[in-house]
Amino acid sequence: MGALNPRIFRLDASGCNGCDVELVETTALAPLATLGVSLVDQPADANVLVVTGGANFKSRAELEAAYRALQAPKIVVAVGSCAATMGIFKGGYAMSGPPDGAVPVSLYIQGCPPGPQVIFRALAHAFDLPTAGLEHLLAVPAAHRGHPQVEQAKCIGCAACVNVCPAQAITLEDRDGERVVRFTHQDCIFCATCQDVCPSQAVSLDTQVAPWFGAKDASQSVSRQPLGACAVCGRGYAPLEQIRWSAKTVADKIAMDAKVRAQFEHSLALCPSCRRSSLAEARHAKAILTWVTRQASRRSPQGVER
């Protein structure tokens, strides 16, 4: 956006007020007036509209009216996850859509909520503010966890991260013989849960990635894993690396003779549908599971009869 003397009007378009509180804290943390930034009480006196919260059916009209009243160049900054995607309010009966469904947004600042240092860094970058002597505010905060990044070579596509993400920022899709695990950082709240549950340590948090962006879909991390084919029907049913990882994890913990290992690997090679379609296969899968469970507690090899 370049150099500008921002005259900011704040508007909370409905949320928990956490982002608005952090925005107010930013004004106390940084000497905005000496940097050419001013806060105004009316949108008609502003050229920058800073929005927090996701728009509901009441606040949407106020948001649109505020944007119309702005002076040129009419810059809108969306602060926090709710202002990007409605965050935890997504799907709420009172929500009409994120603010960019009503007005054009130029800058998204991530977080739930983003801290005052993050907000200041984003505004300083966007408006090319003179920040000499404020280097302590430009440093990445020690408590900032960072963007989840997926290492393709380590990811097994197990979907553990998808299942636990409280912000629904991680999605999974099986198509064309592969599983696609996609981290959409616009929804990320930096809780680090995905890193904590990843069994293969494929997810790491990158603090060097700036937690703001101009295009909402610009910040993503994706893992693509080929699906293993069922030994009976040939359909892809689970990521190949997950199947291999599961087999290796069990084999590393439980001693198996060649016969038992062959039976175990046969069971892993069947999709759930084919395993259920045959009574013999279902019984064998149950026997294998029972045996593995017992061995995990007793740590002594036994045979499994089919």
3-state secondary structure of 97: strand
In a domain, 130, yes or no: yes
Tell whether 283 and 196 lie within a shared domain.
no
In a domain, 155, yes or no: yes
Among residues 226, 251, 270, the one where a domain terminates is 226
Please report, for the domain that includes residue 118, its CATH number.
Answer: 3.40.50.12280
Tell whether 51 and 131 lie within a shared domain.
yes
The per-residue pLDDT for range 206-265, each reduced to its tens digit, is 888 888 998 877 778 899 999 999 988 999 999 999 999 988 888 888 888 888 888 888
Tell whether 221 and 265 lie within a shared domain.
no
Q: What angle do CA 239, 245, 251 make, to 5 degrees?
A: 140
Residue 147 φ/ψ, nearest 5 degrees: -75, 135
The per-residue pLDDT for range 257-288, each reduced to its tens digit, is 888 888 888 888 888 888 888 777 778 777 87
What is the rounded distance in angstroms from the CA atom of residue 1 to the CA atom of residue 126? Answer: 6
- 274's tokens: 């084919």
- Rounded to two decimals, the pTM is 0.80
Per the structure, the complete domain to which residue 240 belongs is given by 230-298
Tell me what percent of the residues of the chain surpass a pLDDT of 90.
54
Report the mean per-residue pLDDT for the chain: 88
Within 13 Å, how many C-alpha atoms sit on residue 132's CB side?
1
How confident is residue 144, by pLDDT bands cut at 50, 70 and 90?
A: confident
Q: What's residue 2's pLDDT?
A: 61
pLDDT, mean of residues 125-144: 86
Please report, for the domain that includes residue 176, its CATH number.
Answer: 3.30.70.3270
Q: Which has the minimum average pLDDT: 58-72, 200-214, 277-291?
A: 277-291
Within 13 Å, how many C-alpha atoms sit on residue 290's CB side?
10
What is the rounded distance in angstroms from the CA atom of residue 213 to the CA atom of residue 93? Answer: 28
The per-residue pLDDT for range 14-54, each reduced to its tens digit, is 888 999 999 999 988 889 999 999 999 999 999 999 999 99
Q: What is the DSSP letter of 175?
A: E
